[in-house]
Amino acid sequence: MDLTEREPEETGMTVTHPVEAVLLDIEGTVTPISLVRESLFPYARARLAEFLTAHATEPAVAEILAQTRALEPEADPVATLTRWSDLDEKVTPLKSLQGLIWREGYAAGDLVAQFYPEVPAMLRYWKREGLPLFIYSSGSEEAQRGIFGHSQDGDLTPLFGGFYDTRVGAKREAASYSAIRAEIGLPAGLILFLSDVEAELDAAAAAGFRTCQLVREEDGTVPSTRHRTAPDLHEVARLFTLPQPA
């Protein structure tokens, strides 16, 4: 076992900062699942067809339509995107489209992101203490920036050094985490991945990451038997010797 993977008591040394970067999931980890399922998804689904018609000639939307046609060449792309939305498919064209629709919603004041109570203060504290933070979500980078840029606690996007989405790979594949590790530029054993989904944590662990499952009572998360678990970011900080306010 590499020294960076050991707990402080195993090495006989006092380790004050064993993790050098934190990679976070969003839904069920820092935001309630209800934010996406009951607010963001229905908002985008209700506006999907109208948005595509109104913006079809814009480069970003034209690219989404082209990607959709490439994946299902025999189908109408609007119908395909609508079906993917109804099935909550984790495909890049749909995620990109949702992000664009949500951007309009945030700009109009229709949408405001809600985080679990301790999250904004803990993320700000970690940033002030010099701990690099990154996001990895199946939602597009546009959608991620929308959530963190339009929260009840203001704009949180400056706290993060990078936003990763399905363009880097699927969240349940170890290769995706290896690609993120290469971009972050740290050994995998110094990066902590936080998620509520056990299969995502399995993939990160296979790539050498340290892992912890957020088990939020409100979301009914089933605790993992293969990874450390925590009810909030305060407990994450305690478990992994991360900076924490007194």
**What pLDDT was estimated at residue 90?**
87
For residue 120, CA distances in Å to 32, 94, 117, 134, 231 come to 13, 28, 7, 14, 16
**What pLDDT was estimated at residue 236?**
98
3-class secondary-structure state, position 88: coil
**What pLDDT was estimated at residue 203?**
98
| Predicted confidence (pLDDT) per residue in 208-224, tens digit | 999 999 999 989 999 99
88, 40 contact by CB (below 8 A): no
**What pLDDT was estimated at residue 152?**
87
Q: Report d(CA 123, CA 79) in Å as an integer.
A: 39
- Rg (Cα) of the chain, in Å, rounded? 19
**What pLDDT was estimated at residue 18?**
85
**What pLDDT was estimated at residue 139?**
87
Residue 115: both structure tokens together: 């985080």
pLDDT 10s digit of each residue in the chain, 246 long? 333 344 433 334 444 448 999 999 999 999 999 888 888 899 999 999 999 999 999 999 999 999 999 999 999 999 999 999 999 998 999 999 998 999 899 889 899 999 999 999 999 999 999 999 999 999 889 889 999 999 989 999 999 999 999 999 999 999 999 999 999 999 999 999 999 999 999 999 999 999 999 999 989 999 999 999 999 999 999 999 999 998
Q: What domains can you pick out in the chain, each with its CATH number?
A: 3-31+113-239 (3.40.50.1000), 35-108 (1.10.720)
pTM to 2 decimals?
A: 0.82
**What pLDDT was estimated at residue 2?**
38
**What pLDDT was estimated at residue 12?**
42
- The DSSP annotation for 124-142 comes to HHHHHTT--EEEE-SS-HH
| Predicted confidence (pLDDT) per residue in 37-88, tens digit | 888 899 999 999 999 999 999 999 999 999 999 999 999 999 999 999 999 9
